[in-house]
Chains A and B, each alone.
Chain A
Amino acid sequence: MKVLVAVKRVVDYNVKVRVKSDGSGIDTAGVKMSMNPFDEIAVEEAVRLKEKGAATEIVAVSCGVAACGETLRTAMAIGADRGVLVESEAELQPLAVAKLLKAVVEKEGAQLVILGKQAIDDDSNQTGQMLAALLGWSQATFASKVELDGTQAKVTREVDGGLETIAVKLPAVITTDLRLNEPRYVTLPNIMKAKKKPIDTLKPEELGVDVSPRLKTLKVAEPPKRGAGVKVPDVGTLVDRLKTEAKVI
């Protein structure tokens, strides 16, 4: 079974982002970028499926600017066999990415697609669900455990209030939650090997997909600042302030 993994290049999760003063967006110039953490978990899961013999080939796909090629190299250093870069300078929103991925899935004949549950930049949590819808496939979102058995996948999902296990028919789309696995560190030899693995570059036009954004961002602003707090010297003062000043207990 061929597995497709979608990976996104995002501002590194440790970076404290800055809003541009003209309100047009986030300042990403010179900021460290890396693979979306949930996507690392997705790649790791695909590699584990291959190591168990359940997957035959892993294709990593990324949509965006040419620099997304680096993200694909990281995926290949973790263990993906090859990469597909859908190159576009345009702002790609989840619906457009889902359409691009659908075209790549059909071109590649993949049976399983694994994505992160959300990207830490736009925090949308949409692409996997949208892809499943467009393909007419089943979906298993927020996965914390995946077991493939022949024609179906048994997936444990993290839901509000606990866990839920569902059985989905293959082909299917799975999105990863944090606790699905611990992604492995990439080793230097594997980084070197990844440089030799092939990357195909495609354009949205070749795939026949219109990527024009559907949502218009009017403005990006800093969130309201909280008023400066106080440090209290001891527990007694704290409890007293909560009772008499904040009146919350």
Chain B
Amino acid sequence: MTALVIAEHDNQVLKPSTLNTIAAALLCDPQVHVLVAGQNCAAVAQAAAQAAGVSKVLCADAPQLAAGLAEASAAQVLALAPSYSHILAPATAFGKNIAPRVAALLDVAQVSDIIHVHSPDTFDRPIYAGNAIATVQSSDKIKVITVRTTGFDPVAATGGTAEVSSVDAVADAGLSSLVGRETTKSERPELTAAKIIVSGGRGLGSKENFEAVMTPLADKLGAAMGASRAAVDAGYAPNDWQVGQTGKIVAPQLYVAVGISGAIQHLAGMKDSKVIVAINKDEEAPIFGVADYGLVADLFTAVPEMVKQI
């Protein structure tokens, strides 16, 4: 049949996570449609239509869809669901919120965070903080799936020529409303899409040190900044910088872990990075077990030195 991808967007820009999800969808079914549900989101629908491999874009435009809230979005997906064999969303805060609600309403299981498609009904997904990979098979008629974006290379954002058609918006049940959003302002690349990430841990000691030591390195490398849970809990860095099982899952070309010991939960979020560098003064730190290049040194001298030499 056909696979439906739920697009993640902010009514203006299509989020890159959608392109990774389309790539996974194409492995399930050669026919891929994209649903853009929002308000005044025509530009997003146009962008989705240009993504390689997409054959049709469905655009639902209504006030209750503006904020991407679970209740209204899931109802919208559900109305379209019977025509599809697969429904896929990115495994981001957005997709994780909506997809299970859709699955339950369809009375089907959901497959979370897939990293590999074996066949249209068989998928790999990590369990136990990435310490094991389960291969699971779904016998449900409609497969509802969330896609770990780092597991699939994105399709090209241009080159596609899909038609955009509008679909009727489902009436609002009025269960929830958006009060407000507080976004962390950043000029840096987005953490989950960055090619280079420099990440700091408890070893930095304070918020001031974190900024003083890590910012020049990130600036020099054009990198996104990340943090371990310990650093976030101690208030050195904002919550949405957290890399790990319960934070963001990243897989950049280069991941530089500074003052991070390497707890299981942190490794779950970054061990698929292409090259891992660890700078830590404790040579027994578990992070050295996954690092391609390890430097046992005091980060307060090593990092500024590194900035100078790059």
Docked pose: A169 CA to B172 CA in angstroms: 13
Is A126 in contact with chain B by the CB < 8 A criterion?
yes
Chain B residues near A138 (CB, 8 Å)?
71, 175-176
Interface pick from B56-64, B161-169, B293-301: B293-301
Task: Render B64-98 as a binary contact track against A, CB cut-off 8 A, 1 for contact.
Answer: 00010111001000000000000000001110111
Would A133 and B293 count as touching, CB distance under 8 A? no
Would B132 and A94 count as touching, CB distance under 8 A? no
Docked pose: A223 CA to B239 CA in angstroms: 28
Q: Size of chain A's interface in residues, with CB distance under 8 A? A: 78
Task: Render A205-249 as a binary contact track against B, CB cut-off 8 A, 1 for contact.
Answer: 000000001111111111100110111101110110110001011
Contact pick for B310, options A154, A215, A239, CB 8 Å: A239
Task: Render B83-125 as a binary contact track against A, CB cut-off 8 A, 1 for contact.
Answer: 0000000001110111111111101111111000000001000
Would B182 and A163 count as touching, CB distance under 8 A? yes
Contact pick for B179, options A98, A167, A177, A213, CB 8 Å: A167
Chain B residues near A139 (CB, 8 Å)?
70-71, 97, 101, 176
Is A125 in contact with chain B by the CB < 8 A criterion?
yes
Contact pick for A221, options B103, B132, B271, B310, CB 8 Å: B132
Tell me if B's interface is mostly helix, strand, loop or mixed. mixed
Chain A residues near B12 (CB, 8 Å)?
none
Would B136 and A169 count as touching, CB distance under 8 A? no
Q: Size of chain B's interface in residues, with CB distance under 8 A? A: 88
Would B132 and A17 count as touching, CB distance under 8 A? yes
Would B104 and A129 count as touching, CB distance under 8 A? yes
Is A51 in contact with chain B by the CB < 8 A criterion?
no
Is A21 in contact with chain B by the CB < 8 A criterion?
no
Give the one of A134, A142, A220 with max B CB within 10 A.
Answer: A220
Docked pose: A125 CA to B129 CA in angstroms: 13
User: Distance in Å from the Cβ of B220 to the closest Cβ of chain A?
Assistant: 9
User: Distance in Å from the Cβ of A93 to the closest Cβ of chain B?
Assistant: 6
Q: A160-B93, A229-B293, A248-B196 are in contact. Are A168 and B131 (CB under 8 A)?
A: no
Q: A94-B100, A126-B103, A162-B240 are in contact. Are A238 and B295 (CB under 8 A)?
A: yes
Give the one of A139, A179, A248 with max B CB within 10 A.
Answer: A248
Q: A126-B110, A178-B229, A239-B309 are in contact. Are A246 and B122 (CB under 8 A)?
A: no
Docked pose: A45 CA to B54 CA in angstroms: 44
User: Distance in Å from the Cβ of B77 to the closest Cβ of chain A?
Assistant: 11
Chain A residues near B41 (CB, 8 Å)?
none
Nearest CB in chain A to that of B107: its residue: A95
Would B296 and A231 count as touching, CB distance under 8 A? yes
Chain B residues near A234 (CB, 8 Å)?
295, 297
Docked pose: A162 CA to B74 CA in angstroms: 22
Would B175 and A218 count as touching, CB distance under 8 A? no
Would B128 and A17 count as touching, CB distance under 8 A? yes
Would A162 and B112 count as touching, CB distance under 8 A? no
Would A241 and B293 count as touching, CB distance under 8 A? yes
User: Distance in Å from the Cβ of B125 to the closest Cβ of chain A?
Assistant: 8
Would A162 and B183 count as touching, CB distance under 8 A? yes
Docked pose: A140 CA to B93 CA in angstroms: 12
Nearest CB in chain A to that of B195: its residue: A248
Would B288 and A229 count as touching, CB distance under 8 A? yes
Give the one of A158, A162, A234 with max B CB within 10 A.
Answer: A162
Would B94 and A215 count as touching, CB distance under 8 A? no
Chain A residues near B292 (CB, 8 Å)?
226-227, 229-230, 246
Is A190 in contact with chain B by the CB < 8 A criterion?
no
User: Distance in Å from the Cβ of B12 to the closest Cβ of chain A?
Assistant: 14
Would A162 and B293 count as touching, CB distance under 8 A? no
Interface pick from B19-27, B44-52, B273-281: B273-281
Would A249 and B104 count as touching, CB distance under 8 A? no
Docked pose: A118 CA to B127 CA in angstroms: 11
Chain A residues near B134 (CB, 8 Å)?
217, 219-220
Would A133 and B101 count as touching, CB distance under 8 A? yes
Contact pick for B93, options A142, A169, A231, CB 8 Å: A142
Contact pick for A178, options B99, B246, B291, B297, CB 8 Å: B246
Docked pose: A161 CA to B106 CA in angstroms: 30
Docked pose: A232 CA to B280 CA in angstroms: 12
Chain A residues near B178 (CB, 8 Å)?
164-166
Would A125 and B131 count as touching, CB distance under 8 A? no
| Other A-B pairs beyond A121-B128, A141-B96, A229-B292, 18, CB < 8 Å | A19-B132, A94-B110, A123-B112, A123-B128, A131-B104, A133-B101, A144-B239, A161-B240, A166-B178, A215-B137, A216-B138, A218-B136, A220-B135, A231-B288, A236-B309, A242-B275, A248-B196, A248-B253
Can you sample 22 A-B contacts with CB below 8 Å?
A94-B110, A122-B127, A125-B112, A133-B101, A133-B105, A139-B71, A139-B97, A139-B176, A142-B93, A142-B97, A165-B181, A214-B109, A216-B139, A217-B135, A218-B137, A221-B135, A223-B126, A223-B132, A230-B292, A231-B295, A239-B306, A248-B275
